[in-house]
Amino acid sequence: MRAIDRRAGIKERAGISTVVSFFVPVARANSLGMRHSALWCATKQVHSWVKYCILAPLVALRCSIYPVGWANRQANNKQKQPTRKKRARLFRALYSQRSICSMKFERPIFYNNPIGLRFEIGPEDISLWKSYENRVLNDNYFNEALARAVRVFDFAFDANDSISVIYQIYSDGRRKIRKGNFLFKQIIDVKSRLIAYSDHRDIYTDTLDFKSYCWKRVRVSGMKTKDLDKRNLLEALINTDFSSRGPSLRGECFFINHSKDLVLNLYDDRGMDVVAKDKEVLIPLYERCSDIILDYDRERIDSVFKRI
Render pLDDT for 268-281 as a digit per residue (tens, 0 to 9): 999 999 999 899 99
Closest by CA position to 183, among listed 121, 263, 252, 98? 252
Render pLDDT for 65-87 as a digit per residue (tens, 0 to 9): 545 454 555 555 544 555 666 66
Phi then psi dihedrals of residue 99, to 5 deg? -145, 160
The pLDDT, as a whole number, for residue 193 is 94
E strands present in 3-161: 116-120, 129-131, 136-137
Render pLDDT for 234-289 as a digit per residue (tens, 0 to 9): 999 999 999 888 899 999 999 999 999 999 999 999 999 999 989 999 999 999 99
Helix axis angle, 67-78 relative to 56-65, nearest 10°?
Answer: 110
Quick check: 123 and 229 in contact, CB under 8 A? Answer: no
Q: Which phi-psi region, left, alpha or beta, contains residue 86 (left: φ > 0; alpha: ψ -120 to 50)?
A: alpha
> First-to-last CA distance in the chain?
117
Higher pLDDT among residues 123 and 306, named by residue: 123
Q: 64 pLDDT exceeds 90?
A: no
Q: 30 pLDDT exceeds 70?
A: no
Higher pLDDT among residues 110 and 43, named by residue: 110
Question: What is the Cα–Cα distance from 184 to 175, expressed in whole angstroms?
Answer: 17
Q: How many residues does the chain have?
A: 308
Quick check: 238 and 153 in contact, CB under 8 A? Answer: no
Q: How far is CA 23 from CA 26, 37, 254, in A?
A: 9, 18, 62
Confidence grade of residue 13 (pLDDT, cut at 50, 70, 90): very low
Closest by CA position to 46, among listed 10, 36, 38, 62? 38
Quick check: 14 and 34 in contact, CB under 8 A? Answer: yes
For residue 156, the tally of other CB atoms under 10 A from its CB is 24
Mean pLDDT of the chain, nearest integer = 80
Q: Which phi-psi region, left, alpha or beta, contains residue 186 (left: φ > 0; alpha: ψ -120 to 50)?
A: alpha
